[in-house]
Amino acid sequence: MSPPSFAETVEHFASRLAADHTALARTWLERLDQLLDVEKRDVFPTPQLLDHIPELLAEVAAYLRAPEDQEIAANTAVMMKASELGLLRFDQRASVHQVLREYQILSEILEAFFMRETVALGERANTMATVLVLSRAQQAVRVLQQKTVDAFITRYTETIARQTAQLRNFSRLVSHEIRQPLGVLQVLARMLPIREPDSEIARLGETLERNVIRLADVAGKLERLSRLTRRPDNAPSEQSVDLSALVHDVAHQLSDMASSRDVTFEIADALPCFAADAGRVELVVINLLANAIKYSDPSKPSRVVRVEHDPSVSHPRVLIRDNGIGIPRSQFDAIFEQFVRVHTHLDDELGAQGMGLGLSIVRESMEAMGGIVGVESAEGHGTTFTLEWPAAVPREKTPLESSS
């Protein structure tokens, strides 16, 4: 029996993807349920979107069969569905980082699917056709991801433009409606006929001018405050972060690095949920866990990184402990500065490298979220970083949870 031709191999992969598109969509939904801090029914909350995801994968299968000069971006219906997903994630106050992570998961699911089918075909697979199919599938995911992110960014930009216009209108109101009459009053106060410095009229004129100047200063402060107003509550980058799910996801991302140095993660069961920028929180966690791995102590029989929650305070406080080589106490302040690396002399021994930006990113990210980061360490024993956020947001129970 002769091996399948190029066209037959392509048709095999396309047919299998078309047949399994519903199951693959269900797998994606389950993975997203672990990642997103929304109820499962809200991951794709409408029947239309629930139908869209299998349809997107079915269209990817059809795209595998299409002529090489045909692009999935030309499929208006598919692009519309990808855009709707971006608008949904914006309304759910997700971050761009999270949207990218969702598509990374979809890419991983498709890679696993094609790997299984390639193994099943074995030597019967046409090599060039297999490479083409994998390439086209990944290209389709990239195009869909770009469309989803574009829709998200467009809505975000519109929101920022609207808020900027509101602030500009407020500044114009303050400037025109308050400053102009105040300026007139200032001029009139200075023009009052004051011939006798100690007269009652002189005192009244000075009082009037002093208070007009004070009101003008207040108006100026109002203008400056309007420019410094913090990001509103509906900013898309802030959401309820499930730290347990996030830390487990980061640990999975760093698993190869940890295995290469025999580092074990120990993650507490009850890490908090709180309102924050999910992208910044992940950036903080990934930098601290990666540093703990990088500076683990090869002389110790076991190398452990623990992530714990401190329940003794009302706000979220998380401790990331390791039993690594430690940090000299004299360097506690310096390590959060840019381009500072304490252990450069151990780079060859530890196989470590970097630019000294990780901990400065941690500090800047925490400050941007209104939080703080602290450190305690003992050379030869290990390091503990403490992360504190200003307020916890309790998760509401679902009707099912409430009735149980």
Whole-number pLDDT of residue 321: 95
For 398, residues 6+ apart whose C-beta sits below 8 A from its C-beta are 39
pLDDT interval class at 10 (50, 70, 90):
confident
Mean model confidence pLDDT for the chain: 77
Let me know: does 14 contact 129? Beta carbons within 8 Å. Answer: no
* Among 73, 41, 78, residue whose Cα is nearest residue 58: 78
What the block records as the tokens of 122 is 């074995």
Kindly tell me if the per-residue pLDDT of 12 is higher than 70: yes
Cα–Cα distance, 316 to 244 (Å, whole number): 12
Name which residue leads in pLDDT, 176 or 320.
320
Q: Does domain 238-388 have CATH number 1.20.1530.20?
A: no
Domain boundaries, the chain: 6-160, 167-228, 238-388
Kindly tell me if the per-residue pLDDT of 319 is higher than 90: yes
Kindly tell me if the per-residue pLDDT of 187 is higher than 60: yes
Cα–Cα distance, 105 to 94 (Å, whole number): 16
Name which residue leads in pLDDT, 182 or 131.
131
Please write the tens of the pLDDT for every residue from 258-272: 898 899 999 998 899
Whole-number pLDDT of residue 289: 93
- The CATH topology of domain 6-160 is Globin-like (1.10.490)
